[in-house]
Amino acid sequence: MDTDSVTPSPIDRSPLVGRAVELGDLVDRATGGTASAVLLGGDAGVGKTRLLTELIARSREQGVRVLSGHCLDLGESGSPYLPLREMFDRLQLDEPETAASLAEAFPGLGPLYPAGLAAHQVDRGDFLEALHDALTYLGHERPLLVVVEDAHWADRSSRGLLTFLLSRRIPSPVTIVVSYRADDLHRKHPLRRDLAEWSRLPGVTRVVLPPLADADMRGLVVGLRPGLVGAATEDIVARADGNPFFAEELLAAHDLGKAGLPGDLADLLLLRLDSLGDAARTVVRAASVAARSVTHDGLGHITDLSVTEVDDGLRAALDANVLMPSGQNYVFRHALLGEAVYDDLLPGERVRLHRRYVDSLSDREFPGAAASLAHHAHAAGLRKVAAEAAVRAGDEALLAAGPADAAAHFQAALNIFAEDDIELDGGCGRFEVSLRAARAFVLSSDPHRAIGLLDEVSTADLSAEDHGRLAVRIAEAHQVTDLPDSLVGMLQEVIARQDGETELTATLLSKLARAHLDDEEYDKAAEVADEAGRVARDLDLPSVTADAMTTLGRLDGFAGHRDRSLRRLDDVIEAARIAGDVEAELRGRHQRHRVLARLGDHLGAREAGVEAVHRAVELNAASTPFAVDTRTMAAHYAVVTGEWETADAMLDLSELRLPESSFTAVMTAVGMQLAAARGQDGDVLARVARVRPMLTREMMVGVQGGSAAVDVFGRQGKVEAMLDLHDEIVQTIGMVWRLRNFDARIRLSAIVIGHLATSRIGGAAEFARVEELAQAAETVAGTRGDERWLGLESRAWLARARAERARHDWGGVGAPDSVTVDLMQTAVDCMGEAVFPYDEAWSRVRLAELLLARGDHADAREQASLARAIGLRLGASPILDVVGRRGSAPAAPRRDGKAELTPREREVLVLVARGKTNGDIAKELFISTKTASVHVSNILAKLGVSTRTEAATMATRERLLD
């Protein structure tokens, strides 16, 4: 069975990803008006058939005639010219008149036709000439694409026919594409020689599809299952090894709750071993236990084979494309093939081979030796050896800037401690490994795992020093989360137990200063930070000094001392850079970004955040907590300030391979914010379920992602869903963080009031909730005593909330008063000052609506035009759907029950009246065909007609296009 041509039944047709270059080239060839030929190779399942399916569909859309046929696995005794027969059978069904004319004009085609049409005995040479002439004839009529799939199964006659066609260039626009499975071409395969000859022919191009890149594989998996993220996606991507078919099979198994390989896939993979001899099978089985790669000498130690037998076995496995060289080592051609072989081993066979690996690794030193030893010792049941090796591997991974790997190794050791009461050499026990594991979890941006681990540590018998070390780890984990728990009491208690001024004492004081800062006890935070800095300087502890100075710099920012705050933080950053203190430098950059954001310098915050992210990449620390949190906020400010390409870059976590955590949830929430602004409503709502479990862990999940979903629900007119989600966010933040009033509530209120206003203007009754929502925004502002103490962002949203409240009260009846118009103008001005172009554009849309209702047509058009310009620059389809491409002022919906067409819908209706298809409309308005279809459906519904012709007639009769 050709896995390229089979789509697993539980999976819908997969999206085509990562093949844009190859597809573009093939389409250009098929439609370019000249003859060409392509040999398309690639491993089974890599996507050859999927690519050809897309090629055929696009070629037909552009008027190309397509003939396609398949070779089948029938051996050399199969029916000759099978793919050609399939082509002409289909031609007779699709174009019977063309088939009949070909039979009459080229009688030599007889072998391809059933009895009664042109069937008679012909000479092979005459047959080939007739086929060549027939294809030339078809190509002269219109461009022709000839596709022969699975040539690795081609019979001798079909291979000879392909040699003839590729050698004799066809003098008309005929493109021939021949696909084959590269991994089936063992050394003696008959197609190998033919491919070598064909590749040297003029006009023949050979293309081999490589495995997909990891980023493309993630796109494939997410495209098939939008709700699957984090570790599950990464596992499938890693195991599939760039093979789309394997990914689809693994995804199907995941859907069914199966952890191992799907049975059908395992059977398919193991078929490759059937042709191997005993020595080769032994070599392959030993290689499967190695987990990664294996050396030639290693196979000699692990197996009982002689040197000659190992050589012969390796050569056979290489010839069969089961193994392949990788530097000086050998690896499986497909990682899943190694899994299948390993799963097929007998239990005793597995243990025996793992023990032999342990023996061979016990006295060896090389990068990764400890990790390999831990793996094999655990599988062999040697638990103490496994625990010691795992701890050593964790230490090595931390030194190599691999905290996620380190955390996994330490966790493996802790799992052994939980089952066996063992003591490792050197007195390294469970407590010590727990501290190391917590540190690794924090550094890999998974602080909640660290907190859960540290919560299990008993403090009953700890010395004062160990209690202090534990407190430091607890503070490190908590202080990079949004958890509301105060650490002040715990840290004060632990500090009181310490003896004198030591490095540990200084570290604890710096953590206590940050705890006071988190509790908004600013005076106390400054006092303790000063003390921590003094002790650290006395003991020459530059890292602790930097931590204390960073806290003081942040406090200067809270007090409004911009220059002093930034100067202090810049000093910390420079000193840390010179000293090579990565963590101190990244925290300083993180706090510098936050100071700029708090002071309302949103452009500066964005640039500082992006610079910090790039610096973290240079330092190989892009996955550490301060780097990831800064990346999140840099992405947020790139979204709100209109640098959406920068936001896309910040939101791309594919290279970081982060575990699914609160950090990745916040990043997903910011992505929802960007998707909502782009009009990708379905994407936003699909992510709600993914981030909802994190609402109680990270406040920003609700503030960013929740508000985006609230906006989408409101835009879609789903008032109840909008209000329910708004209430869930506010109640969760109130319950978990004990915050009844928080700045982001102003924005939430403004968004909801705005949609309720639009609904009322469209004919709904007055909403009683508006008063409550407006009051909530005012209450938050009132907690500052003076609105000037609000951040610029909050002031802008407060102005918008007040304007939307007035717009709701107007309700679309008569002309709005000057107060309402002035309030919306203030919202426009504030959003502009904050440099929030998307939200400024929406405010201008609302202002244009009010001005138009008041009769100020010229001013309304100006505001709509300015909103349109922003929408076009950003690619914000929600804006353009309201004002259209020409910047038409949006009229309020009529209150007589009939809906008014939006400017975008009027543009679409003009094109419908001209007889344009949805595809034509999409191209002219720069939107997708699906979006054009939705607009047409909405227009038909609003006009109360059922056809496009009726819509055009009504548009002309009622002068809707004037």
Q: Could you give the count of Cα atoms lying within 13 Å of 38 in the half-sphere of its Cβ?
A: 25
Nearest to 139 by CA among 175, 109, 112: 175
Instruction: List the beta bridge partners of residue 174.
Output: 144
Distances (CA, A) of 682 to 218, 675, 708, 713: 19, 9, 12, 10
pLDDT (mean) for 726-745: 90
With bands split at pLDDT 50, 70 and 90, how would you rate the model's confidence at 228?
low
More confident residue, 700 or 739: 700
pLDDT of 886 reads: 62
Which residue's structure tokens are 């931390």?
398
Asked if residue 524 has pLDDT above 60, the reply is yes
Asked if residue 75 has pLDDT above 90, the reply is no
Least confident of 200-204, 486-490, 657-661: 657-661
pLDDT (mean) for 152-161: 88
pLDDT (mean) for 324-330: 86
pLDDT of 114 reads: 59
Asked if residue 438 has pLDDT above 80, the reply is yes
More confident residue, 484 or 768: 768
Distances (CA, A) of 748 to 14, 674, 696, 725: 38, 16, 18, 10
How buried is residue 89: exposed, middle or buried, by Cβ count under 10 Å (0-12/13-18/19+)?
middle
Between helix 792-810 and helix 837-853 the angle, nearest 10°, is: 20
- Interval 399-428: pLDDT, tens: 887 888 899 999 999 999 888 777 777 668
pLDDT of 225 reads: 77
Instruction: List the beta bridge partners of residue 205.
Output: 38
Computed over every residue of the chain, the mean pLDDT equals 88
Least confident of 672-676, 739-743, 859-863: 739-743
Asked if residue 472 has pLDDT above 90, the reply is yes
With bands split at pLDDT 50, 70 and 90, how would you rate the model's confidence at 889?
low
With bands split at pLDDT 50, 70 and 90, how would you rate the model's confidence at 791?
confident
pLDDT of 3 reads: 42
With bands split at pLDDT 50, 70 and 90, how would you rate the model's confidence at 785?
low
- Interval 41-51: pLDDT, tens: 999 889 898 89
pLDDT (mean) for 575-594: 94
With bands split at pLDDT 50, 70 and 90, how would you rate the model's confidence at 935?
confident
Asked if residue 635 has pLDDT above 60, the reply is yes
Q: Which residues of 106-123 are buried (b: 16+ CB within 10 A; e: fewer)?
A: bebbbbbbeeebbeeebe
More confident residue, 959 or 100: 100
Distances (CA, A) of 854 to 753, 817, 891, 913: 21, 8, 11, 31
pLDDT (mean) for 426-442: 90
With bands split at pLDDT 50, 70 and 90, how would you rate the model's confidence at 4?
very low
- Interval 601-621: pLDDT, tens: 999 999 999 999 999 999 999
Which residue's structure tokens are 């392509």?
38
Q: Which long-range contacts (CB under 8 A, 24 or more apart) does 468-475 make?
A: 468/494, 468/495, 468/497, 468/498, 468/504, 468/505, 468/508, 469/435, 469/504, 470/435, 471/508, 471/511, 472/504, 472/507, 472/508, 472/511, 473/435, 473/438, 473/439, 473/442, 475/508, 475/511, 475/514, 475/515
Torsion of Cα atoms, 763 then 765 then 767 then 771, to 10°: 100
pLDDT of 824 reads: 97
More confident residue, 551 or 219: 551
With bands split at pLDDT 50, 70 and 90, how would you rate the model's confidence at 14?
low
% of the chain exceeding 90 in pLDDT:
56
- Interval 892-920: pLDDT, tens: 555 444 457 777 888 888 888 888 888 88
Distances (CA, A) of 99 to 30, 143, 298, 798: 21, 17, 62, 73
Asked if residue 7 has pLDDT above 50, the reply is no
